[in-house]
Every structure is written in C-alpha cells, then in structure tokens.
Amino acid sequence: MPLQIPKIDDRRYQDLLDEALNRIPVHNPEWTNFNRSDPGVTLIELFAFMTESLLYRANLIPERNRLKFLQLLGIPLNSATSARGIVTFLNERGLPKTITLDSGLEISAGEVPFRTTRGLDVLPIEGKVYFKRPVKNEETEILDYYRQLYASFQDGELADDVELKLYETALLDGSNDKGVSLGDDTIDNSIWIALLAGENEDPKKVREEIANKTLSLGIVPSLDETTMVLTAGGQQANKENSSWLNYEIPKMPADNRLFGDRQPEYKPLNANALNDLLQEPGIIEITLPSKAELEFWENLEPLELGADDFPPTLEDTKLNERLITWLRIRAAATAVKIRFLWIGINAANVSQRTKVSNEVLGTGNGEPDQILKISRPPVVPRSVRLFVSNGELTEEWTEIDDLLAAGSEVAKPALRQPPGAKTGKPKSAKVFTINNESGEISFGNGEYGQRPPLNARISVSYDYGAGLAGNVGVGAIKTSAVLPAGLKVLNPVRTWGGADSENVLDGERQIKSYLRHHERLVTAQDFKTVVLRTPGVLIGRVEVIPTFNPDFSPNEPGDAPGAVTVLVIPKYDAKQPDAPVPDRFFLDTICRYLDERRLITTEVFLRGAVYKPIWISVGINVVAEKSVAEVREAVKKSLLEFLAPLDPKFDLLGEPSVEKTNGWRLRKPVTAKELLAVASRVSGVMFVNDVLLAEGANAAGEQVAMNGLELPRVMGISVSVGDALPVSSLRGTSTETGGTAKPRKIVPVPVIPENC
C-alpha cells in the first residue's frame, strides 16, 4: 500500500464555520442573530470557504514532497492474508448416491465467504474415528479373568511372551485440545475409522455405491512442535513425511471367514497426500477397493471382537448393523510420536476469499506508466487475471513481479551481441504488476512492458479476502446457497492464517530497516526486523543468535558458521499464558516468509523457547503499617515480572539496545541473591529472611543455570511472613520406580462393561 500522506490541518468547511459561530458569544456577545440570512454569518461562511482552500494547499507541502520520495523508493506494506481451513460434507437427507462437488464451491460463515480449493466425492456414508485407549488402573482380578478366558479359547495357557493389556474404545472427535498420540495414547499405535451406512440404508447397497470411489480424509495433526529448520540450499515442500502413515483395510479371505491361526490381515490402500500432513492440516485422497473387498469378517468369535489386531469393539449394536468396513491408520516406527486432533471423511480444504468476475477498470490512454485501481482490495496473491480488449481482439496479460524484467513492446536489436548471435526467447511485454494491499495495477512504459493501447477496454477477475475476520471458530462455516439438496457443511476445526494488512504507522517505522536490508537476511538485525514483519502472526519476542546451532548442545554462539538460530515467542498463548510456546502454524508462517528472503547458504533454525521449571520460596518481614496480604502479592508479582519471558512494555520495533531486553536474557542464570534483591525493593518489605530456589525436582541451591534457548518458568512461588516455606512442601514430593522388563507381545483386550 502507498504511504498515506498526513495532513497538517484536517479541518473542513463545516468545522471552520461551526468553530467561528461558537466563538461569537465569547468575543461579541451583542451579536445574537446567527441565521443564515444575517450578513455577518454570510461573511463567516465566505472566510471559512477561503480558509478551507488555504488548508488544502498547505497540506500539499512540505510533507507531500517528502513522502512522495519515499513512495518512489517502492517500500511495500504487507498485504492481508486469507484464512484457510477444513470443512466436511455430510449427506443427511439426500439419496444414497455419491455427489461430486467441483472446486471453487462457495460456502460461508455468516457474512464471511469461503471457497473450496479442490473438488471431491461426497460419499453417502458416515465416518466415526476411534482408538484403543489403555486402561490406566488395571485390576488384577479382571486381568486374571481375561487370561483364563483367552487361555481356554486357545486350548491351553497363554505363551510366556504374551501380555494382555486392557483398553477401552474411545472416540476421536476433536474435543481434546491435546489430541491423541499414536505412541503414547493408543495401545496398538493405530487409529480406526468405522465407515457406516446411513441410519435407514442397506449396507450392501452402500458398498456398491462407494466401491472404487475416492474417499477424502481430512487430518489435523497436533502442531505443538517448537522447532523448524530451513536447510542451506533452499527449502522444498516435503510430502514424503505423509508416507510415514499407512492406510489399510481388512483383507478378506474366501467367503469372508477366518480359518487356521485366525489372525486378521490388512492390505494397504492407494493414498494421495495433497500436502505434508505432519506439518499442517490437509487432505488424503484414498481410492476405495471393489465391493467384494469392502466386506467384514463374518465368523468372529465373541472373544475375538476387538482383541489383538482386530478393530475395536462398538458397544452400540445399531452402529454394528450399519458397519460397512474399517480403515486403519498405522504409524511407522519413526513416527509413533504423531498426535492427531481430528480426523474425518468427506473433507475439503477451503480458503477465505470472494470472487469478482469481469470488473471493468477503464480504458487505456496509450501513455507510459498507466496505473489503475481495482474496487475491492486487498487482493489474494496470484488470483488476478487481466484482459485487454482492443476492438474485437481480447488478450490476457500476465502478472509479473518487476516491470524492469519485462520485454519491450517494440522488438529491439541486441546491440551488445555480434550480428547473427542467438539472443534467446524474447521477453513478454504484455505484463503488469499489482500491489495486493492497495489494489493498484501498474503497466509498463513501452521500453519495459507494453502500454495499454488508446481506448482499449481493461477488465480483471480476482479474489479478495477479509483478512483477520476469516479466522472463525468451530462450526461457524455452515451455510451455502449452491449446495445440492440434502448436503450439510461444517468446519470441525477453527480456521487459521487470516491477517489484516500492515498499517501505515508500522510501515513507516520499518523504512530505515528496509532501506538497509531490502528484504534480504544478512545481519542479525535484518533477521529481527524481517521476522517482526511476518504477516498473520502476533510476535512477542525475537532473539537472533548468529553462528549457533541449537542441536549441538551445549555449544556456544560462534561454534557453527553458516547457521542462524531465531528464537520466537508468540505474544499470546491460551494454553501457557505465562510461558508462550509457538505452534506449528506459527512457525510455518514465519518459515515461509523467511525462506524466500534468506541467503541460500544460510541454515536457519526457527525455535521456540525451552522453559526450565523453577520453584521459589521467599520469607519476608513486613513493615508494621503495611497490609501483609498486599505486600505478599506485590512480592509475587515483582518476582514473576522479573523472570517473565516477555516484557509487555518493551518496544519491539524500536532501536536495539544492549541495556534493554525483552524479558529474561538468554543464557543468564537465575540466582537466589538476585531474587532476594528484587523482593527487598518492594514497598512494604522490611527485609527478606531467605530465598529458596530449586530447579525441577532438585534440591534448593544458589542458582539455576540457563543454557542455549532456555528461559525460566516459575512452576510455583510461595511468599510467607517469617521463614521461607520448604521447596518440598511447595511442590510436593513424588517417588518414581523403574526397571527394565523383558520385551513381550502386547495383546489388546477390550474392557467389557458390566452394565449394558
């Protein structure tokens, strides 16, 4: 967006007239007739009109000249970004038929429109996602009972290397903010998806309908990873990580009956990942097999239901009657730490945008450097299509980043080359540039880029977004005027990524830094200023550590040439307000912004802070006339502010200063003596008796060291009158026992409820 021109005096005609009339009773009380017919009022109106003209001319100089030069420097402001999300479609009241939806389908959350980015098949089925959750407190009597049952089922005793583990069938519906870890929260490292027919539909007919169709499976991973790396040589999209997940379906034997060892087998499904599902939410397109392969085992024994590698048990008999088959998502050994927040079928990616088609901008005048402006900025990047019509001929012109890279509208000989030399393919001259934030479209001057011909009709089609308003909550996207009858749409998770345009004040404060680095990351200050300009995130703190690799701990800065570590802390964190941690969305947004601006030989490590838990206990004496409760709380507040990772009063965009830091300084140890000094400076404290400081479960000591990207996090603080409370009483004591057990085969066993 061009820099806005400030006005020396923004008063208009009516403001000047009202101000003059209000001064009459003060300076000339004898004047009592203020009607428009009064000659004096007419004179005031005349002078107000003349003054407005003078103010208009005054506003043109000198600020206009100064800022006009800044506009010519081409200093940009970040444009708004569109929110993204995932929606699911459900065929509630329609016919049991597969409905194919095209890309670009418009849906909305109130007045905020969204569009699907890819077409999909809406299958006439329902999907419920389950996992086998281990029972934490296993009762010995129940386990013995199950051992006897399974031993009798196997005509003997259980093998020594077999261990029974009780589990309960749990539903994965997105209600748990922490998600489900395949390695920690499931007993078999698997997620199970039950494909169900409609309540009044025949599963056999539904199998025929969905056979060989494409199932769009939406997956939202838990993005609590606090590390991202931009490797030297360039960052590439990595979809191979999605291959760490295996998508399987039961492999049906002859007549759908088990024989022999009665062990279930599964066959892999053809799955196409549209993005790296371990880095961001996305869609997996799974090709379903034929009708014969969508069956389920028909001769399972009661003790086999849900046991071992069989799918989990469904307590609801109505669901069992609607069951078509099961899908299993299983993690490879290298990815067992994956966590999932939500998984669902008939899912599609959406982007917050509104389509504008064939908007007429005006006509060309044949002059160089023509500028036209669209009516609905900000524009979604790379969504503009521009057409120039000259008579009966209509041509589409191409968007370009820089008009200096465009060709000439008239072929010119390459005078620097000898006669007969090949000059390569000529550059296209029918190009334009666009400022996505302001909506200004610029054309060439003839030498660099073609000029729109005289009286040529210029029209555009583009998408524009709502910025921050596109970040809506769960279930907000639920209406559409173009959905087929019977279909329902809903967003199971919140949308993300929407941000408003950078305001003029922030842009003007970046002028000095921009002129120094020109959007290129060379110095440490360049990294800091560019990171702070990342659109779509609210950053609370940035620390840049050159020549430092956090993976080579406990190394010091200077040990890793070519590496740059950037510590980022979000301004807000709902889960940990006192110790904000960036999630994968936050890091990925910054990562994308830095990747195209860094030197290709630089390896960038983008990290969140590593919080080291500390416990503090303080004993004080209070001045007699002071309130003990108020002084005690004031001491707590002072200590917490002193150790906080963020300083709310710190100016992120100000000039760097050695004396001022935003929160606790990196690699500075926490000492009991310094905390004693902070507590003693609180008004009302007569003196401090003692300060006890402990790290984690360790005993109290004089200091807690901070290395690398570590920052202190106060897990508990006690301020008492008199002696300090022992740290063990503050945090509680716990004992842990451990041992090495012989590896055994885990056999999941479902817990059968006592009451049905």
142 or 168: which leads in pLDDT: 168
Q: Are 427 and 406 in contact (CB under 8 A)?
A: yes
Using a pLDDT cut of 90, give the percent of the chain over it.
Answer: 33
Task: Assess whether pLDDT exceeds 70 at residue 160.
Answer: no
pLDDT of residue 509: 63
What distance in Å separates the CA atoms of residue 469 and residue 256, rounded to the nearest whole number?
52
Q: Where are the domains of the chain?
A: 13-72, 78-87+99-120+347-353+467-497, 124-223+240-345, 354-412+428-464, 504-608, 611-731
Any residues with CB less than 8 A from the CB of 43 and at least 6 apart, and which?
none
pLDDT digits (tens, 9 = 90+) for 467-510: 888 999 999 999 998 888 888 999 999 998 888 877 666 666 66
Please tell me what DSSP assigns to residue 668: P
Would you state the pLDDT for residue 30?
85
**Taking 50 as the threshold, does the pLDDT of residue 367 lie above it?**
yes
- Global confidence as pTM: 0.66
Amino acid identity, residue 93? R
Torsion of CA 103, 106, 108, 113, to 10 degrees: 100
Please give the average per-residue pLDDT across 721-731, as a whole number. Answer: 88
Which DSSP category does 535 fall into? Answer: T
Q: How far is CA 367 from CA 321, 373, 438, 454, in A?
A: 74, 16, 22, 8
Q: Which residues pair with 568 in a beta bridge?
A: 542
Q: What is the pLDDT of residue 599?
A: 83
Q: Does residue 570 carry a pLDDT above 80?
A: yes
Identify the pLDDT of residue 2: 47
Statement: residue 597 has pLDDT above 60? yes
Residue 385 CB partners (closer than 8 Å, separation 6+): 396, 460, 461, 462
- How far apart CA 85 and CA 732 sit, in angstroms, is 43
Parallel, antiparallel, or unpaired: how do β-strands 112-116 and 106-109 relate?
antiparallel
Evaluate if residue 335 carries a pLDDT over 50: no
Q: Average pLDDT of the chain? A: 82
| Crossing angle (nearest 10°) for helices 524-532 and 584-595 | 120
Residue 720 confidence (pLDDT)? 92
Q: Which of 253, 291, 251, 252 is nearest to 269 (CA)?
A: 251
Q: What is the pLDDT of residue 372?
A: 93
- The number of helices, as runs of H, and strands, as runs of E, in the chain is 13, 35
Question: What is the per-residue pLDDT for 62?
Answer: 56
Q: Which residues pair with 344 in a beta bridge?
A: 218
**Pair of tokens at residue 236:** 């590439």
> For 220-243, what is each residue's pLDDT tens digit?
988 666 666 666 655 544 544 556
The DSSP symbol for 63 reads: H
Angle at 314 between CA 263 and CA 319, to 5 degrees: 120
Residue 191 β-bridge partners: 329
The predicted structure's pLDDT at residue 616: 95
Residue 467, classed as helix, strand or coil, is helix
Q: Is 308 left (phi over 0), alpha (psi -120 to 50) or beta?
A: left
What pLDDT is attached to residue 140? 62
From first CA to last CA, the distance across the chain in angstroms is 65
Give the residue-averaged pLDDT of 175-199.
86
Report how far residue 336's alpha carbon sits from residue 551's, in angstroms, rounded to the nearest whole number: 21
Confidence of residue 91 (pLDDT cuts 50, 70, 90): confident
User: Is the predicted pLDDT of residue 382 greater than 90, yes or no?
Assistant: no
DSSP secondary structure string, 285-322?
A: EEE---GGGG---S---TTTTTSTTSPPP-S-HHHHHH
Residue 688 has pLDDT above 90, yes or no: yes
With contact defined as beta carbons under 8 Å apart, do 412 and 427 qualify?
Answer: no
Alpha-carbon gap, residue 336 to 342, rounded angstroms:
17
pLDDT at position 8, please? Answer: 60
Amino acid at residue number 588: D
DSSP 575: S
Q: How confident is the model at residue 675, as a pLDDT?
A: 94
**Does the pLDDT value for residue 740 go beyond 50?**
no
pLDDT at 422: 60
Comparison of pLDDT for 263 and 690, the residue scoring more: 690
Q: What is the pLDDT of residue 549?
A: 86
pLDDT confidence bin for 521, thresholds 50/70/90: confident
- The more confident residue out of 383 and 298 is 383
What is the average pLDDT across 622-628?
90
Tell me the chain's radius of gyration from C-alpha atoms: 34
Q: Residue range 187-204: average pLDDT? A: 88
Give 648's pLDDT tier (boundaries 50, 70, 90).
confident
Structure tokens at 523: 């110095």
**Which DSSP state fits 589?**
H
Assign 358 a pLDDT band (cuts: 50, 70, 90).
Answer: very high
Q: Which of 239-253, 325-339, 340-354, 584-598 shows the highest mean pLDDT?
A: 340-354
Q: What is the pLDDT of residue 739?
A: 42
Residue 585 has pLDDT above 90, yes or no: no
DSSP state of 427: P
- CA 339 from chain center: how many Å? 16
Name the range with the highest mean pLDDT among 18-27, 75-84, 328-337. Answer: 18-27
Q: Distance between CA atoms of 251 and 263, rounded to whole angstroms?
A: 11
pLDDT at 615: 94
Q: Looking at residue 394, what is its pLDDT?
A: 92
